[in-house]
Amino acid sequence: MSKESEKISGEGSRTTLSSLAKHVGLSRTTVSVVVSNSPAAAAIPKMTRDRILQAAQDLQYRPNYLARSLRQNRTMSIGVIVPELSEGYFTLLMRGVEQHLMGAHYMYFTASHYWQPELLTKYPRLLLERAVDGLLLLNTPVPEDIPLPIVSVSSHKTVKGVTNIILDHKKGVFLALKHLKQLKHKRISFMRGQNFSLDTDERWNAILQAARELSIKVDPELCIQLENNTWSPELGYEPVRALLRRRSDFTAIFCFNDTSAFGAMRAIHDSGYRVPEDVSVIGFDDVIGAEFTMPSLTTVRQPLSEMGNLAAKLLLHRIDHPRATYKAQVMVEPDLIIRESTCKAKSRP
């Protein structure tokens, strides 16, 4: 820090917007636009922007968000409600959420409801009392009568005042089943998600539709209903072990998500079979660990980080433009990521 900067910021004092503007010889408005990263800053010459930012760094300037909040009648914070913050699905979603909020200088409160009815009711009200500017719901039911901008990821329910981001499940499921059919799989086990999961019905209906279109039989004896409220691979382990004790005449299994697929692969191994030589396995989500399992997991990729980033972006846009029109639903596209856990079907006893 230069001696001149030391005089301005003096030990124990705080550099204000006024003192920063005086230091660079520019108006408070110009300096404010630059340090707040406002879209209007694009109209200011780059040399001037760089000079302001360098001076702000030298003087250790920190924006007064409390004063800004009072002027704008905002807290510069949002509430994020999730089932839980376990690794995998929510890790990637939150990565995208955080990236956008950090860039916009927003803070957030996170609340995990673990599918407990009382928490699903309580948390939106608590966040409203803490004066958040909006709510972001990740795989969480939309609450009633909350007077805030709300963006939801995977709610699959049209609610007035809510923007919902969803995946094209029909396309994702069709890609997965088409891949198995091309590999000559005819006897396929299917997992249906837990009844409380918001993706369950949408994905199961997509499975039934794609199976009809591809002439693939959905045998009820080979279908698994998931029940445990967990994001551990245990979710798929015990159900697949139980299935293999009853039946072993299937050559592939389409899992509800990657977490259950990890458990399924372990169950297949512990039952004396091999993946993919005896049973091909497909997951859903493409979480971070899917690429590094042995074998690596073939899966339907949800662009989770992009979905989280988009959700945060849409929510802040609604907060900034309360009278603007907005879409009730935004659909994102999946991809099939083919790895080592699927191969051509072989006949076996």
What does the pLDDT average to over 214-224?
Answer: 97
Task: Say which CATH superfamily domain 72-167+304-332 falls into.
Answer: Response regulator (3.40.50.2300)
Task: Name the burial class of residue 155, with classes exposed (0-12), middle (13-18) and buried (19+) by CB atoms within 10 angstroms of its CB.
Answer: buried
Let me know if domain 3-63 sits in CATH 1.10.260.
yes
For 169-302, which CATH class? alpha beta
Tell me if domain 72-167+304-332 and domain 169-302 are identical in fold: yes
What does the pLDDT average to over 209-236?
Answer: 95
Q: Domain ranges for the chain, please list them.
A: 3-63, 72-167+304-332, 169-302
- pLDDT range class, residue 310, cuts 50, 70, 90: very high
Task: Name the burial class of residue 51, with classes exposed (0-12), middle (13-18) and buried (19+) by CB atoms within 10 angstroms of its CB.
Answer: middle
Q: How far is CA 65 from CA 9, 59, 320, in A?
A: 19, 17, 16
Kindly report whether the global pTM for this prediction surpasses the value 0.85: no
Q: What is the pLDDT of residues 271-305, one digit of tens each?
A: 999 999 999 999 999 999 999 999 999 999 999 99
11: which DSSP letter?
T
| Contact of 194 with 228, CB cutoff 8 Å | yes
Q: How far is CA 214 from CA 173, 180, 187, 195, 211, in A?
A: 11, 10, 13, 26, 5
pLDDT at position 73 is: 63
Amino acid at 61: Y
What does the pLDDT average to over 231-235?
Answer: 92
What does the pLDDT average to over 320-333?
Answer: 91
- Report the interhelical angle of 46-58 vs 28-35 (nearest 10°): 80
| Contact of 177 with 342, CB cutoff 8 Å | no
- pLDDT of residue 70 exceeding 90, the answer is no
